[in-house]
Amino acid sequence: MLFIIQINSVSAQERLTIIDSNPPGAFLTLEGEYRISATTPCRIPDNIIGNYHMKAKMPGFESWSGDIFILPNQDNSFSFKLSPKTRFKASVRSLFIPGWGQYYSGQTFRSLILGFGTIGAGVATLFADGDFRHKRDDYNQAKIDRDNPRTNNEEFTRLWGLARAKNREAYDAETRRNTLIGVTIGIWAYNIIDAALFFPERKLITGLPKIQANFDGQMTHLKLTATF
């Protein structure tokens, strides 16, 4: 069953500009003398003329933009095709910037978790590396002091024990650094796999009620269409 409720505040015959997309249902904006927002397919009265910059977006598809020129006193028809977002594009983005692929596919929360998780692990790794280098320098200095030929037996024993302690501290610091490096690499790798495996499948939904607004510069035309 199809019913149409149409409210027209003017009845004069009009030339129309038709804008359509493949697939239909894209949200678009036209910016020129007027600013118009609509969902494709849409119709614009003929007194909307001139150069307009058009932008379109739709969940699961790449954004689109371009310029159109609407000619006066005749029907105009414009159409454009939206390219679907893909797992490959999401994975490549996550390869370079953790979380970018998830953001690209519309998974903002996962993007924030993986992005900040990788950044946090990376920062912790940098601090751990600095701590390891500091402790390694302390150990090397302790070895130099221990092996000084002017060191007596009592002092040698003390420095030998100190060198062992410094060696243990340097070893533990290196272990922490290497562990954090592994964690950072692991999160980064998982972020790439996640972008591919959990890429959302988009399905076009048709048959839903549609409200279309047309503005002729003076009056507004509203149309509600529903299919059952």
* Pairing verdict, β 16-22 and 76-81: parallel
pTM for this model (two decimals): 0.70
* Cβ–Cβ < 8 Å for 173, 135: yes
Nearest to 10 by CA among 225, 224, 215: 215
* Burial class (CB within 10 angstroms; exposed 0-12, middle 13-18, buried 19+) of 101: buried
Nearest to 78 by CA among 86, 88, 68, 89: 68
What's the pLDDT score for residue 209? Answer: 46
Nearest to 128 by CA among 172, 190, 187, 188: 172
Q: At what angle do helices 87-96 and 153-197 cross, to 10 degrees?
A: 160
* Cβ–Cβ < 8 Å for 50, 67: no
> Dihedrals φ, ψ of 99, to 5°?
95, -15
For domain 2-84+203-227, which CATH number applies: 1.20.1250, 2.60.40, 1.10.357, 1.10.8? 2.60.40
How many CA within 13 A on the CB side of residue 172? 6
What's the pLDDT score for residue 204? Answer: 52
What's the pLDDT score for residue 113? Answer: 96
Q: Which residues of the chain have pLDDT under 50?
A: 1-12, 205-211, 213, 215-216, 220-228
What's the pLDDT score for residue 203? Answer: 61
Give the whole-angstrom CA distance, residue 11 versus residue 25: 27
The torsion angle over the Cα atoms of residues 118, 120, 122 and 128, rounded to 10 degrees, is -150
**Domain limits, the chain:** 2-84+203-227, 87-197
